[in-house]
Structure 1
Amino acid sequence: MSASKPGTGLRVLFVGGSGVISAASVARAAALGFNVTVLNRGVSAERTVPNGVEHLMADVRDPAAVRHVLGTRTFDVVADFVTFTAGQAAAAVELFGGKCGQYIFISSASAYQKPPARLPITESTPLRNPFWQYSRDKIACEDVFTAAYRQDGFPVTVVRPSHTYDPTRLPLLFGWTDVHRMRAGLPVVVHGDGTSLWTLTHTADFAVGFVGLFGLNAAVGEGFTITSDEVLPWDAVYRAVAAAADVPDPALVHVSSDTIAALAPELGAGLLGDKSHSVIFDNSKIKRFVPDFGARIPYSAGARQIMAWHIDHPEARVVNPEYMALSDRLAAR
């Protein structure tokens, strides 16, 4: 690996590679000339592997199957998008130790202290989230990888994205159901008072910073936040979607996150552990390491991409009757 910007030809393995965050990074790495391999179960039809990218199928939870498909191969970079627990992290260290020059673990910016004691959030912000098990599990993964780096030199780099989206994903509480309600003139629930600040990062922008870390010796042992610099109150996020859906004045109603969590526990952890807190991220570090990085796609443009994708994919325009009823109940409060 090089301490400067890597050239083409690096052997890169994406573990996952077909998700909202990872697919754009696979495409960028391939476009830049890296020798890209994707390892996953091959079950996602939503995002396919680009032409020219090697696709290996195995369940990463089955180490024997992974060893079988990889054989004695080694990689300059392994990018891990599918480790979520400390046990899975320990298995990854055992599986890839000595077989890669750099192992990039996708953690989460939700692992940062909640509520944050100060803004902006930087890589030195403590990791602590008492509200959301997902975030605590990501912290535990980081602990495993960091211990392996300190004790045995396992070449980990940690990346913490925040809310990263592609054209298939709406950031609204109830997804397409909320767009339907906007167009029907029905009240649409926004958590809190709509003024808490949020950061939405287009996956194509994230990919520039992420792939830019590939092969950087100086990034081993380091952690990086990679997000947009655009910060929006939640009301502005909803209004951007409404504008893209040709709804000039959506009927937004505000309901406390605690109330939503009480009536919809499946949504509560993500609200109380992440979205209900204002977040502003300092991206100075990733910009120092990857000078090409800069989030260039504002959410107003991203929202139009999302709406265009949904127009082309009617199967995604699902109005959930349970969400309709829940929205009515919440709005009535």
Structure 2
Amino acid sequence: MKVLFIGGTGLISEAVSKLAVERGMELYLFNRGERNEFVPEGAQVIQGDIRDAAGAAAALKGYEFDVVVDWIAFTPEHVQSDIELFAGKTKQYIFISSASAYQKPQKNYLITEETPLVNPYWQYSRDKIACEELLLEVHRTSGFPVTIVRPSHTYGVTAIPAALTSWAHPWSLVERIRKGQPIVIHGDGTSLWTLTHNTDFAKGFVGLLGNPEAIGEAVHITSDESLNWNQIYAAIGVAADREPKVVHISTDFIAAHTPAGTADGLIGDQAVSSVFDNSKIKRLVPEFTATVPFAEGIHRSVEWFEAHPQLCTVDTDWNKMLDTLISRHGVDAKLLSYYV
């Protein structure tokens, strides 16, 4: 099978790239060549920028693929460019959507692929929904062979997955825990969340490549393990060898006392319980099962960072933001107790 990944070296996709090569697929990665350390041996890199439509068309001229996967399409404009570039040149086009597109808050705690796609809180999610709508319309009208995959919170060794965290400097959370500095958990920490290791996600995803039953379908791929946020942060603490000092703060307060946009993903995704029914991916890929519990996965992440000390960087702005948030919350709590 001849497969093209647009991207292919990111947090989720690097594990899929590795497994695809291990399964004997002829894998090409089309990207800017900025993360070559995550290119698996055996994959071929075509250097280019998918946002440069003319340049991408020139770089890919003469190629045809059984499957094309765009890991970095986020808007309908991105998807429209892909349709124009790959129509008639691939047997399957896979769009990476997001489980955050599901209705928030949903009417049923258990999320299936039939859960409505409605998220008024997060522009990222609304853009993904618009992409899905465009692709399914083109599939209906012209037979464009689309498959839609909706990852939820997927992580690998290069991530310390959490809610209110520094995405650019993920080690900051571990550093803060180890120094005994307080961290913030939204709400009372009892809402349920699903974290999926990228090696588990890869097993489900690779099974969709070239799978004719997946054409015209949307499917999510997640772990069956659901933990509450108190358990998640406790597991991070165990991996960091230090029990976290926790301050619980309401999501509304966090949104009101952090810079604009900081809490969009929290309000539009992580603050709402998310438990997934994985029956569909297990039907399409019968061998799929998630086998990495979070307690093990987060240990792998901490060990990986410790083996790469140059990446154990700390986000001073994020630290200041967290300190300010906790301070303001403490003042408000004292005022409230005084008046009550």
TM range (shorter): over 0.9
- The Cα of 1:312 is off from its aligned counterpart by 1.1
In structure 2, what is the Cα distance between the partners aligned to 1:270 and 1:126? Answer: 18
2:113 pairs with 1:118: no
Q: Which residue of 2 aligns with 1:287?
A: 282
Alignment match of 1:23 (pick from 4, 11, 14): 14
3-state SS of paired residue (1:76): strand
Q: Which residue of 1 aligns with 2:247?
A: 253
In structure 1, what is the Cα distance between the partners aligned to 2:314 and 2:22? Answer: 37
5 Å-filtered alignment, 1:145-160, equals 145-160=135-150
- The Cα of 1:321 is off from its aligned counterpart by 2.1
In structure 2, what is the Cα distance between the partners aligned to 1:222 and 1:135? Answer: 19
- TM-score, structure 1 length as denominator? 0.94
5 Å-filtered alignment, 1:35-46, equals 35-45=26-36
Q: Could you list the per-position Cα deviations for residues 245-282 of structure 1 after superposition, in whole angstroms to 9, with x for gaps in the alignment?
A: 111x3211111112212222232110000000000000
- TM-score, structure 2 length as denominator? 0.92
Q: Which residue of 1 aligns with 2:3?
A: 12
In structure 1, what is the Cα distance between the partners aligned to 2:131 and 2:254? Answer: 29
- The Cα of 1:324 is off from its aligned counterpart by 2.1
Alignment match of 1:319 (pick from 314, 318, 327): 314
Q: Which residue of 1 aligns with 2:81?
A: 91
2:64 pairs with 1:69: no
5 Å-filtered alignment, 1:271-310, equals 271-310=266-305
Amino acid at match of 1:320: D
Alignment match of 1:212 (pick from 207, 215, 235): 207
Amino acid at match of 1:253: V
Q: Could you list the per-position Cα deviations for residues 176-202 of structure 1 after superposition, in whole angstroms to 9, with x for gaps in the alignment?
A: 222222112221111121111111000
Q: Could you list the per-position Cα deviations for residues 203-222 of structure 1 after superposition, in whole angstroms to 9, with x for gaps in the alignment?
A: 00000000101111111000
Q: Which residue of 2 aligns with 1:239?
A: 234
In structure 1, what is the Cα distance between the partners aligned to 2:123 and 2:57? Answer: 30
In structure 2, what is the Cα distance between the partners aligned to 1:51 and 1:28? Answer: 11
In structure 2, what is the Cα distance between the partners aligned to 1:318 and 1:29? Answer: 32
Q: Which residue of 2 aligns with 1:167?
A: 157
* Structure 1 unmatched ranges of 5 or more: 1-9
5 Å-filtered alignment, 1:135-150, equals 135-150=125-140
Amino acid at match of 2:106: P
Q: Which residue of 2 aligns with 1:262?
A: 256
Q: Could you list the per-position Cα deviations for residues 34-81 of structure 1 after superposition, in whole angstroms to 9, with x for gaps in the alignment?
A: 111110111225x42111111001111112212212212211111111
In structure 1, what is the Cα distance between the partners aligned to 2:153 and 2:282? Answer: 19
3-state SS of paired residue (2:261): helix
5 Å-filtered alignment, 1:181-196, equals 181-196=176-191
Mapped contact 1:77–1:101 kept (Cα < 8 A): yes
In structure 2, what is the Cα distance between the partners aligned to 1:184 and 1:219? Answer: 48
- The Cα of 1:322 is off from its aligned counterpart by 2.0
Amino acid at match of 1:11: K
In structure 2, what is the Cα distance between the partners aligned to 1:36 and 1:170? Answer: 28
Q: Find runs of 4+ consecutive structure 1 residues off by over 6 angstroms.
A: none
3-state SS of paired residue (2:172): helix
In structure 1, what is the Cα distance between the partners aligned to 2:80 and 2:96? Answer: 15
In structure 2, what is the Cα distance between the partners aligned to 1:188 and 1:71? Answer: 51
Q: Which has the higher mean CA deviation after the structures are superposed, 33-42 or 318-327?
A: 318-327
In structure 1, what is the Cα distance between the partners aligned to 2:28 and 2:238? Answer: 39
Q: Which residue of 2 aligns with 1:4?
A: none
Amino acid at match of 1:121: I
In structure 2, what is the Cα distance between the partners aligned to 1:205 and 1:316? Answer: 24
Mapped contact 1:255–1:330 kept (Cα < 8 A): no
Alignment match of 2:326 (pick from 314, 328, 331): 331
Amino acid at match of 1:235: N
Identity, % of aligned positions: 49
Q: Which residue of 1 aligns with 2:123?
A: 133
3-state SS of paired residue (2:263): helix
* Paired residue total: 322
